[in-house]
Amino acid sequence: MKDEKVEKIPLSEAVTHLLEECRMVLPGIQALFGFQLIVVFNPAFSEKLSLTERGFHLTAIGLIVVSIAMVMAPAAYHRQRDPESVSEGFIIIATRLLLYSMFPLMLALGLEFFLIARLITNNVWLSLLLALALVSIFSTLWFLLPRSRNLQRLLAG
């Protein structure tokens, strides 16, 4: 990693990469949102989940909506603020919105995984443990890996 070659790219390329990353993340989040909405109309939803668990599902839906809004915000911001040019400020704002959108997404995935695991195992503690393990994996890959040279070296071999 010491001898890693780094090349600076122009702002126009940076914004292209950034918006492509937003377009790559958005369909997955939207698909999850669609499934979240459909499950509510399944009779088993009310029969098999407690009121508290249905509240967890509603919370997960809200977190997904926040995540979608954050991923879509850079395009709306750019179109309204300065559609004819690109600035470093825009890159910083858009990058932060995309990065921060991963946090509510991670929590929503953890909540939904907990609910699914609880339905499959019928064991709250095992389901909680599995959901926490999943959230730990996401937080490690999405937040710790980019900031930890040791993890980067480990994965680089």
Q: Please name each of the domains of the chain with its CATH number.
A: 11-156 (1.20.140)
User: Is the pLDDT score of 1 beyond 60?
Assistant: no
C-alpha angle with apex 87: 10 to 12, nearest 5 degrees? Answer: 30
- Category of 26 on φ-ψ map: left (φ > 0), alpha (ψ -120 to 50) or beta: alpha
C-alpha angle with apex 136: 73 to 113, nearest 5 degrees? Answer: 75
Residues 6+ apart with CB under 8 A from 91: 11, 14, 15, 18
Give the rounded percent of residues in the chain with a pLDDT score beyond 70: 98
C-alpha angle with apex 113: 44 to 60, nearest 5 degrees? Answer: 80
Please state which of the ranges 5-14, 35-44, 113-122 shows the lowest mean pLDDT.
5-14
Between 120 and 155, residue with greater pLDDT? 120
E strands, the chain, are none
Residues 6+ apart with CB under 8 A from 57: 36, 39, 40, 45, 49, 111, 112, 115
Task: Write down the pTM of the prediction.
Answer: 0.86
Q: What is the pLDDT of residue 121?
A: 96
